[in-house]
Structure 1
Amino acid sequence: MNTDFVEMNVLFDFYGSLLTGKQMDIFKMYYMEDYSLGEISQELNISRQGVYDSLKRAESVLKYYEEKLGLVKKYNSNIAKINNIKRIIDDAKINISDKSALRVLDEIQKELDEIEL
């Protein structure tokens, strides 16, 4: 799959509700339902150029919000940190024989698993 498609879908997950209704519809049809520009044009009864322009504006808006807010970057960073902490806990469990310390590590790991990002 094209990395641009993946990137756009991730940006849409974070910022899609900030698009206009028309931009949202066109974006979903193109990126999620795999419509061509011509098919979207026919479906929405607008010119192919209008579809293209609206799609490009939507893409620009999504990229702008990420540039300004950085939510995707922060999310990815937090996921990496959580995974690193889990790895450290797993490594520590191998070397710890104290049952109460193991219980604490298990509780920490459980809490990490329940974090909703």
Structure 2
Amino acid sequence: MKKFHKINLLYDFYGSLLTERQQNFIELYYGDDLSLGEIAEQFDVTRQAVHDTLKRAEQTLTNYEEKLSLVKKFSQEDQSLAEAINLINRFESGQDIKGLHKSKSILQEILNNRQEL
């Protein structure tokens, strides 16, 4: 997974747990594609301060993911849903008669996992 995509995904899940400054810098750097210099100028700080803040925010996001694994669980659910759709499509086209049963168990497992939360 590319770093920009990874940080944006982590930010979607954990961004509200960052400081306001970290949120601003992440949004401007990863979301709006501003350079360190442009962000520094906007906030009247040094490029090094922006860099350090971004690194701390990235590490914080990574730490949250290591502890909570929400992005990992989301990605696994996404893959399972894609598999269920594929199995249903194969069933509908007559290629896999057992696909409907398997897709039903995949969907039930996802629902059960969500109810545990």
Sort the TM-score into its range (normalised by shorter chain): 0.7 to 0.9
2:56 maps to: 57
1:24-74 per-residue CA deviation (whole Å, 9 max, x = no partner) reads 001111111111111111110112211111010000011111111111110
- Number of corresponding residues: 101
Higher Cα Rg, which structure: 1
TM-score normalised by structure 1 residue count: 0.76
Report Cα offsets for 1:79-99 as digits up to 9, x if no partner. 111111122222222339xxx
Instruction: State the identity %.
Output: 40
Aligned-partner Cα distance in 2 for 1:45–1:35 = 15
- Structure 1: which 5+ runs fail to align? 97-103
**Is 1:43 aligned to 2:42, yes or no?**
yes
Q: Distance in 2 between matches of 1:4 and 1:94?
A: 39
**Alignment map for 1:56-75 (pairs within 5 Å):** 56-75=55-74
RMSD of aligned alpha carbons: 2.6
C-alpha distance in structure 1 between counterparts of 2:57 and 2:41, whole Å = 19
Partner of 1:94: 93
The residue aligned with 1:100 is none
For the residue of structure 2 that corresponds to 1:95, the secondary structure is coil
TM-score by length of 2: 0.76
1:23 aligns to what? 22
Is residue 5 of structure 1 aligned with residue 4 of structure 2? yes
Letter in structure 1 aligned against 2:50: V
1:63 maps to a residue whose letter is T
Higher relative contact order (CA 8 A, sep 6+): 1
Q: Where do 5+ consecutive residues of structure 2 fail to align?
A: 112-117
Letter in 2 for 1:68: K
Equivalence for 2:82: 83
Partner residue, 1:32? 31
**Corresponding residue for residue 14 of structure 1:** 13
